[in-house]
């Protein structure tokens, strides 16, 4: 696995990380804890060094990450997040300094570690000045409990405010072939400030793999059930993007998922996507994309294919959309 530096921070990670959320949260039943541990360790065995979790994914998620990585703690980068009231996305935001400190102590315990390598604010809290958030994390860095500071789904002004108090190592936001909004304002700003970018949902929450169609039924507790982009009508309309990807992938002897990930890696050398999966064969498929070098002709073909396709459906329900890019 190739390595990348997140901006000018000095933090080196594998070109592809592993998003742990889906192991136990968000996408249906998930895995039993032992199986989740095995999946994380399988990712490490194949070269992954960046592992992403969050308080909001539930105690089990951080505990699974902690158990899996404890034997190899010094060889990996563990990222987690604070920012929701009681760690529950349905209860609203809470980035008060006291709460940040409490979450860090709880995360350290669950993760079985003495420091968090990369600590993100999960969503910008309009009720707490960004300067206070960044200042609290700066204090935690000074105490050795945190090594690097990150923001998730933050807008340009919040990034600038935080950067002025405590240098940001990485921004985590959604970015993929079917959500390219970060290219407009965020990527130029990150490059200017020397901040790395960690795209989540780099496969469009699974859609870009080509295995989700209009007739696909999601589990009752799969959050895609409430995402406008995943209505049956939207999925049917958005198949045009997947079909274009399949054509490009076929010509390269690759899969649509591999093309989608390789495209992300080709955008900037300080981008480290974090695809997640509960299946070993998907893990291996995803990681193989790090070895797939897209030619200028490939990238042009993808660009031309995208230019004629309109993506249908918002990426979040209205209430969730209000929490991003602020």
Please provide the size of the chain in residues.
326
**Cα 159 from Cα 150, distance rounded (Å):** 9
Q: Could you tell me the residue range of the domain that residue 139 belongs to?
A: 3-203+267-292
The pLDDT assigned to 305 comes to 84
**Cα 208 from Cα 216, distance rounded (Å):** 14
Report if residue 138 sits inside a domain.
yes
The pLDDT assigned to 214 comes to 87
Apex 202 CA angle, 295 and 308, nearest 5:
60
Tell the burial category of 305 from Cβ atoms under 10 Å away from its Cβ (0-12, 13-18, 19+).
middle
Q: Which tens digits make up the pLDDT trace of 229-267?
A: 999 999 999 999 999 999 999 999 999 999 999 999 999
pLDDT of 319 over the 80 cut: no
The pLDDT assigned to 280 comes to 97
Apex 294 CA angle, 2 and 78, nearest 5:
30
pLDDT of 93 over the 90 cut: yes
Q: Domain total for the chain?
A: 1
Report if residue 94 sits inside a domain.
yes
Report if residue 172 sits inside a domain.
yes
| Cα Rg of the chain (Å, integer) | 19
The pLDDT assigned to 193 comes to 98
Band of pLDDT at residue 142, cut at 50, 70 and 90: very high
Which has the minimum average pLDDT: 16-20, 208-212, 305-309? Answer: 305-309
Report if residue 214 sits inside a domain.
no
Beta bridge partners of 200: 174
For residue 253, what are the contacts with CB-CB under 8 A and spacing of at least 6?
none
pLDDT of 306 over the 90 cut: no
The pLDDT assigned to 301 comes to 87
- How many Cβ atoms from other residues are within 10 Å of residue 280's Cβ? 13
Report if residue 229 sits inside a domain.
no
Here the tokens at position 47 are 């070269």
DSSP state of 198: E
pTM for this predicted structure: 0.96
- How many Cβ atoms from other residues are within 10 Å of residue 214's Cβ? 13
CATH code, 197 = 3.20.20.100
pLDDT of 314 over the 80 cut: yes
Q: Contacts from 39-44 at CB under 8 Å and sequence distance 24+?
A: 39/277, 39/278, 39/280, 39/283, 40/64, 40/65, 40/68, 40/69, 41/68, 42/280, 42/283, 43/18, 43/283, 43/287, 44/68, 44/69, 44/72, 44/75, 44/76
Report if residue 58 sits inside a domain.
yes
Report if residue 235 sits inside a domain.
no
Q: Which tens digits make up the pLDDT trace of 95-121?
A: 999 999 999 999 999 999 999 999 999
Beta bridge partners of 37: none
**Cα 139 from Cα 145, distance rounded (Å):** 9
Band of pLDDT at residue 291, cut at 50, 70 and 90: very high
The pLDDT assigned to 148 comes to 98
**Catalytic residue numbers, as ranges:** 57
Instruction: Please compute the mean of the pLDDT values over residues 314-324 and round it to a whole number.
Output: 80
**Cα 130 from Cα 101, distance rounded (Å):** 15
The pLDDT assigned to 39 comes to 98
């Amino acid at each position: 696995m190739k390595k990348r530096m997140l901006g000018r921070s000095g933090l080196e990670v594998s070109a592809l990380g592993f998003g742990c959320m889906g192991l136990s949260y968000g996408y249906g039943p998930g895995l039993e804890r032992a199986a989740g541990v095995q999946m994380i360790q399988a990712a490490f065995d194949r070269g992954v060094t960046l592992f992403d979790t969050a308080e909001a994914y539930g105690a089990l998620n951080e505990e699974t990450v902690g158990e899996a990585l404890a034997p190899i703690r010094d060889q990996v980068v563990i990222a987690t997040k604070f920012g929701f009231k009681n760690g529950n996305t349905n209860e609203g935001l809470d980035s008060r300094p006291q709460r940040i400190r409490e979450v860090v102590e709880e995360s350290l315990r669950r993760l079985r570690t003495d420091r968090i390598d990369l600590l993100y604010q999960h969503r910008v809290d309009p009720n707490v000045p960004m300067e206070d958030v960044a200042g609290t994390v700066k204090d935690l860095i000074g105490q050795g409990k945190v090594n690097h500071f990150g923001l998730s789904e933050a807008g340009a002004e919040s990034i600038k405010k935080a950067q002025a108090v405590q240098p940001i190592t990485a921004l985590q936001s959604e970015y993929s072939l079917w959500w390219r909004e970060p290219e407009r304002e965020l990527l130029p700003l990150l490059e200017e400030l020397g901040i790395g970018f960690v795209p989540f949902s780099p496969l469009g929450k699974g859609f870009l793999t080509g295995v989700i169609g209009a007739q696909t039924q999601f589990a009752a507790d799969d959050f895609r059930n409430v995402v406008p982009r995943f209505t049956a009508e939207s999925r049917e309309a958005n198949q045009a993007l997947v079909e274009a990807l399949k054509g490009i992938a076929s010509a390269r002897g690759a899969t649509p998922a591999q093309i989608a990930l390789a495209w992300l890696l080709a955008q900037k050398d300080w981008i480290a996507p974090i695809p997640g999966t509960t299946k070993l064969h998907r893990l291996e498929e995803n990681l193989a994309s790090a070895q797939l070098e897209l030619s200028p002709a490939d990238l042009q073909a993808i660009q031309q294919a995208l230019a004629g396709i309109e993506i249908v459906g918002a990426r979040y329900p209205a209430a969730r959309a209000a929490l991003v890019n602020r």
